[in-house]
């Protein structure tokens, strides 16, 4: 059975610092769950993305993109951190760790700019991302697959 399409996705804009931080953590949790169809439901039906140099339009393309991404980026672990917010917009910085099928680890860093509908669904996402090859010993994200534990350090606490 498919998940119902949400009418709203609280918290809703306009965002306060607290509700923007809640939105960021909810997005982090969803992406760490690595379920492309479920993650895509947080976006408007006609959502537009720029992810690196790729342009994506709509939930079906979002789900297809995430399916490809997580098939290539193995043992993916993500931390997002609120950078700024204003009304229906949120800026986020993030880092995630993953390895490819040869076992090479990477830490990918970036920034995202988000624009939300009044219903709290993301209508636009612009992501700029850089990859840094790291050794397994340099990894900082060691929790089991899924949601980052509440007591795990943030990006700032990790010095990233």
Which domains, from first to last, does the chain contain? 17-158 (3.10.450.50)
Neighbours of 160 (CB within 10 A): 16
- Find the mean pLDDT for residues 116-125: 98
Does the pLDDT of residue 1 top 70, yes or no?
no
Does the pLDDT of residue 114 top 60, yes or no?
yes
Binning pLDDT at 50, 70 and 90, where does residue 36 land?
very high
Q: How far apart are CA 111 and CA 114, in angstroms?
A: 10
- Find the mean pLDDT for residues 108-113: 98
- The confidence score (pLDDT) of residue 7 equals 82
Q: How far apart are CA 32 and CA 127, in angstroms?
A: 17
Q: How far apart are CA 123 and CA 46, in angstroms?
A: 7
Under DSSP, the state recorded for 86 is E
68-to-59, 62, 74, 130, 157 alpha-carbon distances in Å: 14, 10, 11, 18, 31
- The confidence score (pLDDT) of residue 130 equals 97
């Amino acid at each position: 059975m498919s998940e119902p399409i949400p009418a709203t996705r609280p918290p809703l804009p306009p965002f306060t610092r607290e509700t923007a931080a809640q939105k960021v953590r909810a997005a982090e949790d969803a992406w760490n769950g690595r379920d492309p169809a479920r993650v895509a439901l947080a976006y408007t039906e006609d959502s537009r993305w720029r992810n690196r140099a790729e342009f994506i339009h709509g939930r079906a393309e979002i789900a297809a993109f995430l399916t490809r991404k997580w098939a290539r980026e193995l043992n993916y672990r993500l931390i997002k951190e609120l950078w700024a917010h204003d009304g229906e917009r949120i800026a986020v910085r993030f880092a995630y760790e993953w390895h490819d099928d040869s076992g090479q680890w990477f830490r990918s860093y970036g920034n995202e700019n988000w624009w939300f509908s009044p219903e709290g669904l993301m209508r636009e996402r612009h992501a700029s991302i850089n990859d840094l090859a790291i050794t397994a010993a340099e990894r900082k994200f060691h929790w089991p697959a899924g949601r980052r534990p509440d007591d795990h350090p943030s990006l700032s606490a990790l010095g990233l």
